[in-house]
Structure 1
Amino acid sequence: MSPQDDDTLSALGKARERLYDPDIERSSLDSPLSPRSNSTIPRRWRERPRLTPLGAPHHLRFASRFFFIALGFFVIAVGISALLFYTGSNTVSVDDIELTIQGPTTVAGGDTVPLSISIANKNPTTAEEVVLDIDFPPGTRSALDLSQPYTRYSDALGSLAPGGQVERTVSAVLFGSEGAKPTIEIAVSFSTSRSSSVFVKRLTYPIVISTAPLSISLDAVTETISGKPFTIRATVRSNATQAIDSVILKAQYPAGYLLADSSITPVGMNFSIGTLAPGASRVVTLTGTLTGQDNDERVFHFTVGTAKAVNDPALAVAYMTQETQIRVAAPFLVTSFIVNGSSVATPAVAPGAPVTVRVSWSNALAVPLANAVIEVGISGAALDPASVEVQKGFYRSADRTVIFSRDTDQALATLAPGATGFGTFSFATLASAPRNSALTLTVSVAGERVGQSGVPERITASANKTIRLVSAVTFTTSSSYASGPFANSGPVPPVAEEETSYTVTWGIVNTGNDLADAAVTALLPSYVTFPGVTLPADGSISFDGASRKVTWRIGDMAGGASRQGSFRVIVTPSTSQRGMTPLLTTVPSFSAYDRYAEVQVTTTGEAVSTETPGDPGYTANKATVQ
């Protein structure tokens, strides 16, 4: 481009420069009319100058001041906070409360645990309203009184100045199962005058129970025949150094178990043992039966501990649990008894009566049983040992045992699967047997079977049968005219169509067991009336006119007791009875429930008539109707 073009194009640019040039005096620009310049007008744009807005330097100076002031305030605040944090001149921390515990870490159950507790205040301010709380595990007892639970200790310590220290000694008796790891929870709470907050320092103190205060051991069979009685012996022992009160043995029975007898009467399934001295032990025996299928496994659980209260046998704290497993086996040689033709579970016989026993057996195995032996032991004070007789067997009088074996019955040499057999024996009971007497038949069976290894295996089993003796009741009857408790009237000998009164007397003597609901009944003939005169006159002797039945309700009769009852009857003979001796009652019958034998006892007496052999001066012709 030529210089001329440059001048022409830059004329506008030069005007622009002049407009924004700060060095040009304002007066020359403000002139409304300027003289026309003869200079050549530029013909190009000049370089645009860099513009600076008016007032910018003042704005930057204000922002800079504000930033530096804020930064300084932040630095000062951080410095003050750091100073307070590291010097701690006005702070309270639970970490500055030193809580120290000294005591055993392993104890025997039932031993006293002494704890020495030290609390020191390392804070720069006073700790106020300081409280020490100790929570003991369940089952803890007071060291001063073992009968009292001791679950919490609380002590208000007051104020603790900076650098102050306080110590406390606390004792408790801990119980637990062997190997248990209970914990003691300790807390120190406090406040300060400068804060409304409550600060809490916590600590957990672990303890291991080396031995349980109460232990239990079990002695039981590992296998039983279904329905066969067996006994479990549970021995409870105290391992504590102090006496333990309200000791409880809790049993948990499996399905199919029936408790028949125990050395301690249970309340539910809890057996109350009471107080055990240090080192003392108590044996609890349980006898029962277990029913189930062959090879069933049943587990018994026994737990020993202490009761909630003296009058509450429920288990509160458990110290040890033991279990025993018993397998149910099907009887390999099934036996059964029939006594005097009856197969009831507990038969009853009268004193002095003969007893016939039939014992049957059957091989329940799937393999043959060789050399089977069935022995029946007879025990009881009511047995007359000289009266035992056996068919196809042998009576061993030395131990009162009846034996059936291949020596007396060749069929017992080998019993095929399902094979059956029986033996019979008899004996008599003593008429003078004592009260509440019983005979026990104990059957033991044995045999040899071939096991899976092919080696003969000897197997045995046993079962019991009890025969109870019922009460022996003596029933006497009599009639009287001139003697007895009542004054009678009318002609003797009796005269047809005329009234004559007589006295009927019944006597009962119970020489056996205790009886309940004893009663005597008889019917009166149509020619006999009941005037209602009785002895005893307590209403126990009554008459029902519709059925013509006289009833004497005796009630309970203890063993060895006797009762007598009398009542008056009036006889009006018919002319058809002349030359006869009329009956005053039919044959009377006595009935009662034997509490021991758990059977009904019945007997009868003789019917009485106008014959009164007990009257003074009585002769046979005085009984015949005239």
Structure 2
Amino acid sequence: MSENEHENKIEDIKSRLYDPVDTVTHRVHEGVLHTINHKVEPEWRNEEINNALSMRKPKTSIFKKFFIASIIFFFIAVGVALYMFYTGGVSVSSENIDITVIGNAFTKGGEELPLQIEVTNRNKANLELSNLLISYPSGASDDPADVVRLPRINIGTIKPGETVTKNIKVTLFGDERSDRNVNVSFDYHPEGSNAIFTKTKDYPVNISSAPLSLDIEAPDTTTSDQPVTFTIKATLNTTLPSADTVLQLTYPNNFIYEGAIPEPVFGNS
């Protein structure tokens, strides 16, 4: 038997072996049935929901993050404010410092005016290294540089709820019925701080009468090249300082000075 014939017979046997119909007995080969277990979920599973949940969440936008941060900051600020309100805190505010000036609201020009200054600390903390500075116009002019500054008044520490009182005297000058301001400046250090803070207050005083009044008698008209006489009367309404009082005259253009009684001490004025 050749090799090819042998292989053909083997293939023929395989074909009959796996053929479901037996070509000899003409019987159909049936397989044995076996139980197959299938895993069944106890509850209905929604595939769409599961797929949606498994999807990646989108990133939060920067505007949403900023909005959330703003809300958090707002509630923190409200909490801090409520805490400071109910506990009193330890901060110092100039609004809780009262400066009160007690004295006459009017005075005669050139007379000494006594004033009482009260400083009250309504803060919850001490005011340390505090001082009072008093200044007022030195004369009748409104020049802010022409002022009198009293010596610095050292107060020291003012405790919470404490009131410190200081007495001063000022001398004011000005036209009758004019107002002159006495400036009160309070410097202090909040407890536990090296910073210097200042609170100021102006106390207006009305000049009831001028310290010096002048009356001038002179003709309303004159003729060219004719002499003109001016009579000037100065009246003191108060006691002026020890310094000499000076009266100065200024003549119109083209007027020629001829003489005065008493004679001027400087030039012809």
Question: What is the TM-score of this pair, normalised by structure 1?
Answer: 0.31
Is the counterpart of residue 251 in structure 1 residue 218 in structure 2? no
Kindly provide the CA deviation profile for residues 432-487 of structure 1, in whole angstroms up to 9, marking residues without a partner as x. Answer: xxxxxxxxxxxxxxxxxxxxxxxxxxxxxxxxxxxxxxxxxxxxxxxxxxxxxxxx
Kindly provide the CA deviation profile for residues 174-228 of structure 1, in whole angstroms up to 9, marking residues without a partner as x. Answer: 1112222111111111112333322211111111112110111011122222212
User: One-letter code of the match for 2:236?
Assistant: S
User: How far is 1:247 from its partner?
Assistant: 0.9
Counterpart in the other structure of 1:78: 77
Counterpart in the other structure of 1:151: 148
**Structure-2 separation of matches of 1:68 and 1:235:** 80
Whether contact under 8 Å (2:257, 2:268) holds in the other structure is: no
C-alpha distance 252-71 of structure 1, shift in aligned 2 (>3 A): closer
Whether contact under 8 Å (1:84, 1:90) holds in the other structure is: no
C-alpha distance 76-192 of structure 1, shift in aligned 2 (>3 A): same
User: One-letter code of the match for 2:109?
Assistant: G
**Structure-2 separation of matches of 1:234 and 1:67:** 80
Whether contact under 8 Å (1:211, 1:239) holds in the other structure is: yes
User: How far is 1:239 from its partner?
Assistant: 0.4
Higher relative contact order (CA 8 A, sep 6+): 2
User: How far is 1:55 from its partner?
Assistant: 3.2
C-alpha distance 103-68 of structure 1, shift in aligned 2 (>3 A): closer
**Structure-2 separation of matches of 1:102 and 1:202:** 15
C-alpha distance 156-257 of structure 1, shift in aligned 2 (>3 A): same
Report the secondary structure of 2:79's partner residue: helix
2:199 to 198, 201, 223: 201
Kindly provide the CA deviation profile for residues 524-553 of structure 1, in whole angstroms up to 9, marking residues without a partner as x. Answer: xxxxxxxxxxxxxxxxxxxxxxxxxxxxxx
Whether contact under 8 Å (1:250, 1:269) holds in the other structure is: no
Q: Which has the higher strand share?
A: 1
**Structure-2 separation of matches of 1:69 and 1:176:** 64
Report the secondary structure of 1:251's partner residue: coil
User: How far is 1:86 from its partner?
Assistant: 2.2
- In structure 1, runs of 5+ residues without a counterpart are 1-24, 26-48, 141-148, 271-626
Matched ranges for 1:129-168 at <5 A: 129-139=129-139, 151-153=148-150, 154-168=152-166
User: One-letter code of the match for 1:82?
Assistant: A
Matched ranges for 1:34-433 at <5 A: 52=51, 55-56=54-55, 59=57, 73-74=72-73, 76-87=75-86, 88-139=88-139, 151-153=148-150, 154-241=152-239, 245-266=243-264, 267-270=266-269
**Structure-2 separation of matches of 1:107 and 1:81:** 50
**Structure-1 separation of matches of 2:112 and 2:247:** 24
Report the secondary structure of 1:268's partner residue: coil
Kindly provide the CA deviation profile for residues 118-174 of structure 1, in whole angstroms up to 9, marking residues without a partner as x. Answer: 01111111100101111111229xxxxxxxx97012212111111122111100211
Whether contact under 8 Å (2:184, 2:200) holds in the other structure is: yes
User: How far is 1:84 from its partner?
Assistant: 3.9
C-alpha distance 251-75 of structure 1, shift in aligned 2 (>3 A): closer
**Structure-2 separation of matches of 1:78 and 1:183:** 42
User: How far is 1:113 from its partner?
Assistant: 1.1
Kindly provide the CA deviation profile for residues 385-411 of structure 1, in whole angstroms up to 9, marking residues without a partner as x. Answer: xxxxxxxxxxxxxxxxxxxxxxxxxxx
**Structure-1 separation of matches of 2:207 and 2:223:** 40
**Structure-2 separation of matches of 1:62 and 1:228:** 100
User: One-letter code of the match for 1:166?
Assistant: V
Give structure 1 regions of 4+ aligned residues with deviation exceeding 4 angstroms: 49-54, 60-63, 66-73, 241-244
User: How far is 1:264 from its partner?
Assistant: 2.4
**Structure-2 separation of matches of 1:264 and 1:242:** 21
C-alpha distance 198-156 of structure 1, shift in aligned 2 (>3 A): same
User: How far is 1:52 from its partner?
Assistant: 4.9
Report the secondary structure of 2:245's partner residue: strand
**Structure-1 separation of matches of 2:66 and 2:233:** 88
Q: Kindly report the root-mean-square deviation, in angstroms, between the aligned alpha carbons of the 2 structures.
A: 3.3
Question: What is the TM-score of this pair, normalised by structure 2?
Answer: 0.68
Whether contact under 8 Å (2:211, 2:240) holds in the other structure is: no
**Structure-2 separation of matches of 1:159 and 1:215:** 47
**Structure-1 separation of matches of 2:249 and 2:66:** 83
User: One-letter code of the match for 2:166?
Assistant: R
C-alpha distance 79-150 of structure 1, shift in aligned 2 (>3 A): closer
Q: Which has the higher helix share?
A: 2
Whether contact under 8 Å (1:252, 1:269) holds in the other structure is: no
**Structure-1 separation of matches of 2:253 and 2:187:** 53
**Structure-2 separation of matches of 1:109 and 1:243:** 11
**Structure-2 separation of matches of 1:174 and 1:72:** 58
**Structure-2 separation of matches of 1:260 and 1:220:** 16
Whether contact under 8 Å (1:182, 1:206) holds in the other structure is: yes
Matched ranges for 1:596-615 at <5 A: none
